[in-house]
Amino acid sequence: MTKNVLLTGGSRGIGHVIRTLFIDAGFNVIAPSRDELDLSSEASINAFFKSTMAEYDVVINNAGINIIKPILEITSEDLQLINQINLSAPLQIIQHCVPYMKGQQSGRIINVSSIWGVRSKEYRTLYSGTKFGLIGYTKALARELAEDNILVNAVCPGFIDTELTEKSLSESQKEELLKQVPLNRLGKPEEIAKYILYLATENTFITGQATIIDGGFLS
C-alpha cells in the first residue's frame, strides 16, 4: 500500500529535494504550501488537520526560519515567531499525527534540526534555542513512542547550498567557513534528503538520534 508522508517546507531548499526523492521512491507526499498550512499560527495548524485526515506514515518536520541577532536586538515578536515555527509547530503536528501512527503500530517522525542544535555560535541564540529544543523533543518522544513502534529521529545539516545559507552568510563568511569544513564544500540538499529517506524506509532500529551531516565541520 502507498505510504503517506507529511512534509513541511517542501516548496524550496532541502524540503523541495526531499519531496522529489520521496515521490520518486513511491510515496504519496503531502507538502502543503504556507497558504494551506502556516506554521507561524497554531490556528492554521488546527484548521489544516480539521480539513484533512491525519493518516501519515511518515512526518518530516523540515520547515524552519533563522533569525540572527545580538541578544539586545531580539524582540518578543522574534522570539514568538521563531519558537512557533521551528519548535512548537513540529510538536503540534506530531500531536495531530501520532494517534494514527499508534493505531498502525508503526510510524516514522523526522525532525530537521541543525549543527546549531548541537553546538552554537554568536547571534544564533534564537535559532539554536529552537534547534537544541527540537533534538530534546526528538529524544523524549523516541522513548515515549517506542512501545508503538514509532521511530523518532533528528537530522542536523551543516552548511547546505540553499537560500537559507545564502541569506545567512556573506561571500567572505562563506569562504572563511569552507576552510573549516574538512570536505571543503557546502553540502547538497540531496545529501540530507537521502538520509531522511533511509530513516523513513530501511531504518528499523535507529531512534532518538540526531545525526550530524556536515562534511566533518563538527568533527
Ligand X SMILES: NC(=O)c1ccc[n+]([C@@H]2O[C@H](COP(=O)([O-])OP(=O)(O)OC[C@H]3O[C@@H](n4cnc5c(N)ncnc54)[C@H](OP(=O)(O)O)[C@@H]3O)[C@@H](O)[C@H]2O)c1
User: Cell numbers of 9, please?
Assistant: 517546507
56 is catalytic: no
Secondary structure of the chain: what % helix, strand, coil (to 5)? 50, 15, 35
Q: According to CB under 6 A, which one of 126, 159, 199, 212 is a site residue for ligand X?
A: 159
| Contact assessment for residue 183 and residue 216, using Cβ atoms and an 8 Å cutoff | yes
Q: Which stretch binds ligand X (CB under 6 A): 37-45, 98-106, 140-148, 199-207?
A: 37-45
Write down the catalytic residue from 123, 127, 137, 195: 127
> What ranges in 52-149 are assigned the alpha helix state H?
76-82, 89-104, 125-145
d(CA 48, CA 1): 24
Shortest separation between residue 128's beta carbon and ligand X, angstroms? 11
Residue 4, number of CB atoms within 10 A of its CB: 18
191 near ligand X, judged by CB under 6 A: no
d(CA 132, CA 154): 10
129 near ligand X, judged by CB under 6 A: no
12 near ligand X, judged by CB under 6 A: yes
d(CA 132, CA 129): 6
11 near ligand X, judged by CB under 6 A: yes
Look-up: residue for cell 521512491? 25
Q: According to CB under 6 A, which one of 39, 59, 94, 199 is a site residue for ligand X?
A: 39
40 near ligand X, judged by CB under 6 A: yes
d(CA 86, CA 64): 5
Q: Which stretch binds ligand X (CB under 6 A): 99-107, 158-166, 177-185, 194-202?
A: 158-166
| Contact assessment for residue 158 and residue 218, using Cβ atoms and an 8 Å cutoff | yes
Give 104 or 120: the residue with its C-beta nearer to ligand X. Answer: 120
Shortest separation between residue 151's beta carbon and ligand X, angstroms? 20
Catalytic residue IDs: 127
Question: Contact positions toward ligand X, by CB under 6 A?
Answer: 8-9, 11-15, 34, 38-40, 62-65, 85, 112, 114, 157, 159-160, 162-165
